[in-house]
Amino acid sequence: MSDAECGTCPSASPIAEVVTPTSEMVVATVTITPKARTMLTQALGDSEASLLVNVLNGGCSGFMYDLQLVEEADELCQQIDIDGISVMIPEKVSTMLDGIEIDYEDKLMGGGFKVNNPNASRSCGCGESFR
């Protein structure tokens, strides 16, 4: 079965433990598309929350993105300000997330955030899983 036909990622439960930390750490660069910026600004409202972008073990390609709005992180993170939106990247997955673009897609069956990752060697057809 090809990655584009997996059909398993939306129902796959990521393993609770986060990806094994790496000894490497980079200062991650992140971009947010105008559509994603609009949706994040609406979701954040007047709160002091940040967008935490993390990686979990799971999904059909090996790893899954985990996006959450949080007041503070449970682990050591880089905090990046992108046009007034605070983005947190855990240091132990910074090499996996360096250069990502956060986008928002409108779809017939509901929209959602999508991470475009230049470091992924392959992605699942649903866009939630990568390697």
d(CA 65, CA 120): 12
Which domains are delineated in the chain?
3-16+28-126 (2.60.300.12)
The pLDDT, as a whole number, for residue 12 is 41
Identity of the amino acid at 23: S
Higher pLDDT, 102 or 13: 102
Amino acid at the residue 128: E
Q: Is the pLDDT of residue 83 over 50?
A: yes
Residue 45 pLDDT greater than 60, yes or no: yes
